[in-house]
């Protein structure tokens, strides 16, 4: 009697006999359960035949796919964030990255994998981006400047890209490793391992003195680093602070850091619609910019293949007119699902993985918590802005009061200094008068010169001829010009 070959209902791969009533498909990693109980096998005998006329159909229908519900509870909100179906024998892990961003306060991710194989489903973190399109950015784009280091509300500043460009230039390098041909972007530390770079180093830097070479050797550098670590450990609290800082600045999602090769690319304009289960959104039209990229890399000595999907969605607003016209483009690389399997088995895994992804459901209550967090951030920023405005107004008032006080002090200072100089002048005059009285002289103002003559005191009148000659007299009727050929001018006594 013929024995039907049992097959996996997910990928069609053959299932060997003798596995019992539960089995994991060796091709796609699906957890399978036997639908029809088979009669016990006689030890040493042939496997029992499948009942029924159509042996192949019976064999194909003999197994069912066994799934389990996986849920992830958000630690911050205490709510179940999402749930989805994965193969029953798989393990899973989730994460939610809460950020100080009113636009996108939470970025979730998850991973499910076969603990006994290489199969894996992963939802990579969404990449939100913002770009302001105006005259300046258009000019910079023509010069090749399409991204900035700064972020706006936690959103990366980058010119819009298509889904294939996002996969090649952002997703794969950020979450997996550098593509072949991107070696020029590698750091010096990674280049130093290549033979070409080593030969360049030997022909340039390392041909200096032996002491220089010894100082910069790997062994010496490692020794100095260990010594520095031991010294830093002696500082109280520094080690725990260093760990906290490391966790703060280290990337949330670290790549594999392996060389990656692109196997093929495919545009998928209906990907967003397919992930929605064929349900179009009337108010928010689904993006038609979708793509898939297949990559190959070596991980832990095993050759892997992986399909990564991406949908790029955009929201564009406009402000200004004429030369001041500006477009604000908020675009997001989302639906970053990745299916992985050992080389040659990815096609068999794809159908099972896509079925799992389509079962993904987000909790509406958790989405409300995200919106509440976004509103809270906006309220805090509005309050801080109001406080800053109040502080600025207080500072302006303080500066104004300080200016008024400065002017008052200046005016008072002028009065004080004016009085001082007046008193000083009076004291000078008093001193001069006392000095003149003691010396028996009087000071006069000579209109014919800048000289202030001191003439004998006790006289009521004094004259000058402009030639350095002076006449003093008490007779009010005396006029030296009557019997002289000179021009005499009467001087006033200096008060």
Query: Token pair of 71, please?
Result: 């849920």
- Region 65-76 average pLDDT: 85
Please tell me whether residue 25 adopts helix, strand or coil conformation: coil
Banded pLDDT at 203 (limits 50, 70, 90)? very low
Q: For position 433, what pLDDT does the model report? A: 61
* Secondary structure (3-state) at 330: strand
How many whole angstroms separate alpha carbon 381 and alpha carbon 374? 11
What is the model's pLDDT at position 193? 36
User: Of the given ranges (97-106, 144-153, 179-188, 230-239), which has the lowest mean pLDDT?
Assistant: 179-188
Note the pLDDT of residue 50. Answer: 45
The answer to whether residue 188 sits within a structural domain is no
Residue 157, domain member (yes or no): yes
Scored b (16 or more CB within 10 A) or e, 378-394 reads eeeeeeeeeeeeeeeee
What percent of the chain is modeled with pLDDT above 70? 67
User: Judging by beta carbons within 10 Å of its beta carbon (0-12, 13-18, 19+), is residue 148 exposed, middle or buried?
Assistant: middle
CB 98 within 8 A of CB 78: no
In terms of pLDDT, which residue wins out, 376 or 437? Answer: 376
pLDDT (0 to 100) of residue 339: 93
Sign of CA dihedral 196, 201, 204, 207: negative
Look at residue 74 and tell me if it is in a domain.
yes
**Domain-located, residue 125:** yes
Q: Are 354 and 292 in contact (CB under 8 A)?
A: no
d(CA 43, CA 35): 23
Q: Is 228 exposed, middle or buried (0-12, 13-18, 19+ CB in 10 A)?
A: exposed
b/e code 314-326 from CB counts within 10 Å (16+ = b): eeeeeeeeeeeee
Residue 160 lies in a domain: yes
Separation between Cα atoms, residue 134 and residue 140, nearest integer Å = 10
- DSSP assigned state of 179: B
Is beta strand 155-158 parallel, antiparallel or unpaired with respect to 127-133?
Answer: parallel
Beta carbons within 8 Å of 13's beta carbon, 6+ residues apart: 7, 25, 26, 27, 28, 348
Write down the pLDDT at residue 424.
61
Residue 91 pLDDT = 92
Q: Is residue 457 part of a domain?
A: yes
Region 54-68: what's the mean pLDDT? 60
- Arithmetic mean of pLDDT, 185-191: 34
**pLDDT tens digits along 434-468:** 555 555 667 888 888 877 887 777 778 888 888 87
Domain boundary among 34, 65, 96: 65
Quick one: 287 and 153 in the same domain?
yes
Same-domain pairing of 276 and 330:
yes
Nearest-angstrom CA–CA distance, 334 and 128: 8
**Does 287 lie in the same domain as 325?**
yes
Residues 148 and 292 in one domain: yes
Same domain, yes or no: 355 and 262 = yes
**Residues pairing with 314 in the sheet:** 331
The helix or strand, by DSSP H or E, that contains position 60, with its residue range, turns out to be: helix 55-60
Do 279 and 166 have their domain in common?
Answer: yes
- For residue 322, list its beta bridge partners: none
**pLDDT score of 312 more than 90:** yes
How far is it, in rounded angstroms, from Cα 305 to Cα 167?
15
Burial 40-50 (b: 16+ CB within 10 A, else e): eeeeeeeeeeb
Share of the chain above pLDDT 90, in %: 18
In this prediction, residue 44 has a pLDDT band, given cuts at 50, 70 and 90, of low
Say whether both 239 and 345 belong to one domain.
Answer: no
Q: Are residues 75 and 60 in the same domain?
A: no
Q: Which structural domain, as residue segments, surrounds residue 59?
A: 1-65
Report the number of distinct structural domains present in the chain. Answer: 5
**Residue (of 164, 163, 157) closest to 140 by Cα position:** 157
Most confident of 35-44, 71-80, 201-210: 71-80
Question: What pLDDT, on a 0 to 100 scale, did the predictor assign at position 88?
Answer: 81
Q: Looking at residue 277, what is its pLDDT?
A: 63
Identify whether 408 is part of a domain: yes
The answer to whether position 202 is within a domain reads no
* Average of per-residue pLDDT across 270-283: 69
Q: State the pLDDT at residue 279.
A: 59
pLDDT in tens, 114-129: 998 889 999 999 999 9
**Most confidently modeled range among 32-46, 272-286, 410-424, 438-452:** 438-452
Mean pLDDT score, 83-105? 88
Asked whether 83 and 70 are in contact (CB, 8 A), the reply is yes
Higher model confidence: residue 372 or residue 25? 372
Give me the pLDDT at residue 25, please: 79
Q: Are residues 264 and 292 in the same domain?
A: yes
pLDDT for 55: 47
Per-residue pLDDT band for 245 (boundaries 50, 70, 90) equals very low
Query: Do residues 86 and 60 both lie within one domain?
Result: no
Co-location of 21 and 93 in the same domain: no
Q: Can you spell out the DSSP letters for 235-291? A: STTHHHHHHHHHHHHS-SS------BEEEEEEE-TTHHHHHTTT---SSSPPP--EE
Mean pLDDT across the chain: 75
Residues 261 and 124 in one domain: yes
Give the mean model confidence (pLDDT) for residues 92-108. 89
């Amino acid at each position: 009697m013929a024995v039907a070959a049992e097959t996996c209902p997910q990928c069609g791969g053959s299932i060997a006999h003798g596995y019992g009533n539960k089995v994991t498909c060796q091709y796609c990693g699906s957890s399978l359960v036997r639908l029809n109980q088979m009669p016990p096998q006689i030890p040493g005998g042939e496997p029992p035949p499948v009942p029924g006329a159509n042996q192949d159909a019976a064999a194909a229908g003999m197994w069912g796919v066994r799934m389990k519900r996986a849920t992830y509870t958000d630690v911050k909100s205490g709510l179940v964030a999402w749930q989805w179906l994965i193969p029953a024998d798989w393990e899973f892990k989730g994460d939610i990255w809460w950020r100080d961003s009113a636009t996108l306060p939470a970025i979730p991710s998850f991973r499910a994998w076969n603990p006994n194989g290489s199969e894996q489903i992963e939802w990579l973190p969404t990449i939100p981006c913002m770009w302001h399109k105006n005259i300046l950015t258009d000019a910079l784009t023509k010069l090749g400047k399409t991204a900035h280091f700064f972020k706006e509300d936690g959103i990366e500043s980058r010119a819009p890209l298509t889904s294939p460009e996002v996969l090649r230039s952002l997703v794969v390098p950020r979450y997996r490793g550098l593509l072949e041909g991107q070696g020029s972007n590698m750091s010096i530390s990674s280049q130093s391992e290549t033979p070409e770079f080593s030969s360049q180093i030997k022909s340039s830097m390392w041909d200096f003195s032996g002491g220089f070479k010894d100082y910069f050797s790997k062994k010496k550098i490692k020794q100095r680093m260990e010594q520095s670590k031991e010294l830093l450990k002696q500082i109280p609290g520094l080690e725990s602070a260093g760990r906290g800082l490391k966790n703060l600045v280290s990337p949330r999602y670290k790549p594999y850091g392996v060389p990656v090769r692109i196997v093929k690319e495919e545009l998928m304009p209906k990907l967003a619609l397919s992930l929605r289960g064929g349900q179009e959104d009337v108010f928010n039209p689904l993006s038609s910019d979708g793509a898939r990229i297949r990559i190959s890399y070596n991980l832990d000595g095993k050759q892997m293949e992986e399909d990564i999907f991406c949908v790029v969605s955009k929201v564009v607003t406009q402000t200004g007119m004429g030369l001041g016209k500006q477009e604000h483009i908020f675009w997001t690389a989302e639906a970053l699902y990745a299916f992985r399997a050992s080389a040659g088995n990815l096609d068999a895994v794809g159908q099972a993985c896509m079925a799992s992804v389509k079962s993904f459901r987000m909790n509406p209550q958790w989405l409300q918590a995200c919106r509440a967090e976004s509103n809270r951030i906006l309220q805090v920023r509005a309050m801080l802005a109001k406080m800053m405005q109040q502080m600025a107004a207080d500072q302006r008032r303080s500066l104004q009061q300080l200016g008024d006080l400065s002017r008052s002090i200046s005016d008072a200072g002028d009065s004080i200094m004016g009085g001082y100089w007046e008193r000083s002048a009076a004291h000078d005059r008093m001193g001069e008068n006392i000095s003149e009285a003691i010396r028996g002289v009087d000071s006069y103002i000579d209109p014919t010169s800048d000289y202030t003559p001191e003439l004998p005191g006790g006289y009521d009148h004094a004259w000058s001829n402009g030639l350095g000659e002076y006449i003093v007299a008490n007779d009010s009727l005396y006029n030296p010009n009557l019997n002289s050929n000179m021009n005499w001018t009467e001087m006033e006594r200096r008060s």
